[in-house]
Copies of this chain bind each other. A is one copy, B any other.
Amino acid sequence: MEVEPSVRVTIDDVARAAGVSRQTVSRAMNGKGEISAATRRRVLATIEELEYRPSVFARGMRTRRAGTLGVILSDIANPFFPAVARGVFDAAAAHGFSVVVHNTDAHAGRESAAAREILEGGAEGVIGFFEALGDEELVALHRRLPLVVADRRAPAPTVASVSSDFATGTRLAVEHLHARGHRHLGMLDGAVGVDHVRRHAFAAAAAPGSPIVTGPPTITGGAAAAAQLLGEHPEVTALVAFNDLMAVGAIRALRERGRRVPDDCAVVGHDDLTLAADLDPPLTTVHTDKYELGRTLVETLDAVVRARRDDTGATPAPEPRLLPATLVVRGSA
C-alpha cells in the first residue's frame, strides 16, 4: 500500500496535463466564456483522471461564494425541526449547496451571532426560523445576504417568507372542538416567536375571553401551562396546544390531576410529529408537511439568490408562500 502523496492537484496541473492554460480549465468547469466542445471534453477528462477538485478557498476568494447555505433555528432536538431540516438538506444537495445549521435556543443574541457567522462564512443565503430578532434586524440582515424567513410573516415586502398555514390549522382545531360540543376552550401558547399566528387564530375562533396561558414550547412547558390554566379555569374542557410537545405535557398534567383525555378534557396539538399517532391517547393535531416546508424554503432561497446575482440592490419582492395545514383527528379530541 503506497503512501498518498497528499499534495494538492491544482488547476495548473490540469492545465499542464491537458496542454491548455489555467483559464481554459476554468472555462471548461464553469461553462463561462467561449470554449470548443473538443477541448472542453479533453479538459474534463484530465480533470477526472487527475481527480482534480477546485479549492473552495481559492474560488471563494474570487467569487465570494462558498456554495453553502445557513439555517438558523432554535433547537434541532425539538422534533419539529428534523423533518424540515431533512427537506432543507435534500433540496440543498440537489442545488449543490452544503448546509450549516445553527441552534439559538430562541435567544436574540445567538440569532444575530448565528447570522453574522453565516455571513462571514460566505454562505449564499440564510433560512431563518427567527423567534427573537425584530423585523428591523431581519431587514438589515437581508441587505447583506439573501434571506428567507420561515413560519413568520415577511418583515418587509423585500424579504421572502414561507410559512405553514397555522392560522387555518388552529381555526380548524377550534371548530372541531366546538363541533364536539366543547363550550369552554383554553390555549397553551408557546413563548416563542413574534407572530403569534396560532394565538390570534385561537382568539378569533374561540369564544371571547377564552383563557390563554403561555409557556416554553416543550413537554414540561406544556405541563406547567396546562396546570396553571386548569387551576384558574376549571370549566375548560378542551385545550389547544402550540405544538405536540406542549400537548403531551398537557396530557401528563391532566392525568396527574385525575382528569381523563379526551373524556374529561380534550387536547389538540400542532405539528403532527412522527409518533403522534402512537401516543396515549393518539394525538389529534394540526398536520403540516414539514419536509415540504424545508424543500420550499430552499427553492425560494435559491430564487432570491439568483435574483440578487443579476439585479444588485433593488431586489424584487418575492411572493410570500403559505403551506396548507389540515386537522388530523385521532383519539385526544
Judge whether A101 and B122 touch: CB under 8 Å.
no
Q: A53-B120, A248-B278 given as contacts; is B103 within 8 A of A86 (CB)?
A: yes
Instruction: Select A98's contact among B6, B57, B90, B117, beta carbons within 8 Å.
Output: B117
Please tell me if A17 contacts chain B, counting CB pairs below 8 Å. Answer: no
Judge whether B121 and A103 touch: CB under 8 Å.
no
Contact code string A68-79 (vs B, CB < 8 Å = 1, else 0): 100000011111
Please tell me if A155 contacts chain B, counting CB pairs below 8 Å. Answer: no
A304 to B179: give the CA distance in the assembly, Å. 61
- Which residues on the B side are within 8 Å of A252 (C-beta)? 278
> Chain A contact residues (Cβ within 8 angstroms of B): what range?
35 or more
Please tell me if A311 contacts chain B, counting CB pairs below 8 Å. Answer: no
- Which residues on the B side are within 8 Å of A116 (C-beta)? 53
Q: A56-B120, A57-B61, A279-B280 given as contacts; is B77 within 8 A of A86 (CB)?
A: yes
Judge whether A121 and B86 touch: CB under 8 Å.
no
Judge whether A281 and B278 touch: CB under 8 Å.
no
- Which residues on the B side are within 8 Å of A82 (C-beta)? 76-79, 81-82
- Which residues on the B side are within 8 Å of A89 (C-beta)? 76, 101-103
- Which residues on the B side are within 8 Å of A78 (C-beta)? 82
Please tell me if A310 contacts chain B, counting CB pairs below 8 Å. Answer: no
Please tell me if A100 contacts chain B, counting CB pairs below 8 Å. Answer: yes
Please tell me if A83 contacts chain B, counting CB pairs below 8 Å. Answer: yes
Query: Which chain A residues (145-193) contact chain B, with CB distance < 8 Å?
Result: none
Judge whether B86 and A75 touch: CB under 8 Å.
yes
- For the complex formed, measure the closest distance between the CB of A186 and the CB atoms of chain B, giving whole angstroms: 20
Instruction: Select A103's contact among B76, B90, B100, B281, beta carbons within 8 Å.
Output: B90
Judge whether B98 and A98 touch: CB under 8 Å.
no
* Shortest Cβ distance from A68 into B: residue: B100
Query: Which chain A residues (76-96) contact chain B, with CB distance < 8 Å?
Result: 76-79, 81-83, 85-86, 89-90
Counting chain B CB atoms within 10 Å of each CB, the highest count among A55, A78, A100, A101 belongs to: A101
Please tell me if A143 contacts chain B, counting CB pairs below 8 Å. Answer: yes
- Which residues on the B side are within 8 Å of A248 (C-beta)? 275, 278
Please tell me if A232 contacts chain B, counting CB pairs below 8 Å. Answer: no
- Which residues on the B side are within 8 Å of A53 (C-beta)? 116, 120
Please tell me if A37 contacts chain B, counting CB pairs below 8 Å. Answer: no
* Shortest Cβ distance from A279 into B: residue: B278
What are 9 contact pairs spanning A and B, CB under 8 A?
A4-B144, A53-B120, A55-B61, A76-B86, A77-B86, A79-B275, A86-B103, A90-B103, A245-B274
Closest 4 CB pairs of A and B: A280-B280, A57-B60, A77-B86, A57-B61
- Supplied contacts A79-B275, A279-B280, A280-B281, 11 more A-B pairs, CB within 8 Å: A56-B57, A56-B120, A57-B122, A68-B100, A77-B291, A89-B101, A89-B103, A98-B100, A219-B274, A275-B279, A280-B282
